[in-house]
Amino acid sequence: MENVPYSFMLYHTAYEIPWLNENFLDTKGLTSVALGQFWLEIVKQLADNILIPFNIEDYCLALYEFLARANAHMKSVF
């Protein structure tokens, strides 16, 4: 093996490649699940906050309408 920095598979940084996460840091994916749950709880807390109200039903309706318009537009283009 060459004795240069770029010949080592984790040379650049240890936090940017999925291979490192899958093989060394979080082999079972438990940390990734915990972080996802953590951020979802933060979003839920913000959504339920009086200062930043967020109505999930209104959001779903708006998203559904947007997707219907986007789908119709894509059909007209292609």
C-alpha–C-alpha distance, residues 11 and 1, integer Å? 14
Q: Is the pLDDT of residue 12 over 70?
A: no
| Chain segment 27-60, per-residue pLDDT in tens | 898 988 999 999 999 888 887 877 777 787 888 8
Question: CB neighbours of 9 closer than 8 A, spacing ≥ 6?
Answer: 19
* Residue scoring higher pLDDT (2 or 52): 52
pTM above 0.85, yes or no: no
C-alpha–C-alpha distance, residues 73 and 70, integer Å? 5
How many residues appear in the chain? 78
12-21, 31-40, 57-66: segment of lowest average pLDDT: 12-21
The per-residue pLDDT for 55 is 80
8 A C-beta contact, residue 47 and residue 55: no
